Amino acid sequence: MRLGSAIIMVDHFPQIKITEVDLPLDEDHKDYDGILEKFFSTHPHVHHCITFNSKAHIVGEFLQKSNRRNVQIMGYDMVAKNEECVRKGSISFLIAQHAYQQGYASVDALFNAIVMKRAVNPVNYMPIEILTKENVDFYRRTAI
């Protein structure tokens, strides 16, 4: 099954080859190093990675342990392990989505709709930030 982002890449950038690696979250985490070693040994041309969840640190920690310095990772979510990998340089970028603000806005919308019987605006834009080693210290987890 292709992810939506992979379809967009194929449609708009057909010259780009997407190579996927699956790290099942129900696997024993000690198996990840073997899966990643096999992947990067089989695909030495891979120099850019993206994870679509908060687990970018799994790949970042592997790159640190295996001393691979020519791979850039973009991941999501400012969790402690991802933050540490950004600081050490094994994750290049994180997209921070302000989960607290998203949660607050959701509960507020439910309250207004159910309790207050008010109309709820169906569009609620939320900020995102791109975090790097240079600006990670300035990220504010709460924006409300």
Distances (CA, A) of 141 to 14, 110, 121: 37, 23, 24
CATH dotted code for 44-97+126-144:
3.40.50.2300
What φ, ψ does residue 72 adopt, rounded to 5°?
-105, 140
12-36: average pLDDT: 85
Q: Is the pLDDT of residue 2 over 60?
A: no
pLDDT tens digits, one per residue of 77-110: 989 999 999 999 999 999 998 888 888 999 999 9
pTM higher than 0.85: no
Hey, what amino acid is at 109? A
Return the DSSP state at 25: T
Domain boundaries, the chain: 44-97+126-144
pLDDT tens digits, one per residue of 115-127: 999 999 888 888 8
